Structure 1
């Protein structure tokens, strides 16, 4: 029975000292959530590259009865957003390849890039500077960011990080 006053010498059934996540698989397996987010990120990166290239090369597709300076501004915005999506898609694919055996820093950098692209795409969609594909990319990136920080994935990344730290000290 746990005592009313916790001490360093408490019994074995202290509810405050129980592990939060009981490991249900050995340390060498990759969690299912990490496998799912791995393939989702690759698919989203490919979709981002495709969407970015389409936006970069599409030109002006709106009504023809507008001023030429307006057309130039619209094309410039589309090229900018398309370039960001294509470049971010390549970077996300490169960082995703490091997730299964990577440490904490590639995942943090991946999250930062995902959040920047998410904000850029949502703002572009809201201001009608891009199409519906930008909203789909933003929703996918938000879902993948959630999956990337599941408890099983966190435990796996912590094990990889600690293994690297211990090997570095030798």
Structure 2
């Protein structure tokens, strides 16, 4: 009559919401799409980061030298973060099809850090329009990375790995 922690084996409230529909060995189509989107975004981040890092001062010439130096330092910082994060995102993305929980969590944390830095840089005009595009793409990919079909695939692979370690 009342729910309790010691219910029978067929409690309708504790059934999985999403039953895996694909065979155990297949990768969801959405995961393939997110995989390629992440690799393309990582390549774009590396390119943008290298351009920002090497661009130098491109503003008005009549500004004070200390201002020019501060702008170049900010550009180098933002460019370095984007280039480094692009390399790390590409490396972590390569681990997604095997379905590890930890790489996906680290990838999400890194993506959110880059989104924050790039949006702040774009809003303060410390970087170009490409930083806004990168932030939007990463936010969309982070959203898609935690869809139920991808989560089921990663849970299935994680449990298979845990069970193989116990043998």
TM-score bracket for the superposition, by shorter chain length: over 0.9
2:147 pairs with 1:147: no
- In 2, Cα distance between equivalents of 1:55 and 1:23: 44
CA contact (8 A) 2:57 2:71 kept: yes
Point out the structure with max Rg over C-alpha.
1
Equivalent position SS for 2:69 = helix
- In 2, Cα distance between equivalents of 1:61 and 1:94: 32
1:68-83 pair list within 5 angstroms: 68-83=65-80
2:102 pairs with 1:109: no
TM-score normalised according to structure 2 size: 0.93
1:91/1:164 CA distance change after superposition, 3 Å: same
Equivalent position SS for 1:16 = helix
User: Which residue, 69, 91, 95 being the options, matches 2:92?
Assistant: 95
User: Which residue, 47, 50, 55 being the options, matches 1:58?
Assistant: 55
Give 4+ residue runs of structure 1 displaced > 3 Å after superposition: 4-7
Equivalent position SS for 1:21 = coil
CA contact (8 A) 2:99 2:153 kept: no
1:23 corresponding residue in structure 2? 20
2:124 pairs with 1:131: no
1:28-43 pair list within 5 angstroms: 28-43=25-40
Count of matched residue positions in the alignment of Structure 1 and Structure 2: 165
- In 1, Cα distance between equivalents of 2:93 and 2:154: 13
In structure 1, the gaps of 5 or more residues are none
Equivalent position SS for 2:13 = coil
CA contact (8 A) 2:46 2:83 kept: yes
Range 102-111 or range 37-46, more displaced: 102-111
1:165 corresponding residue in structure 2? 162
C-alpha offsets along residues 140-161 of structure 1, whole Å, 9 cap, x if unaligned?
A: 0000000110001111111111
Q: CA RMSD in A?
A: 1.5
1:5-16 pair list within 5 angstroms: 5=2, 8-9=7-8, 15-16=12-13
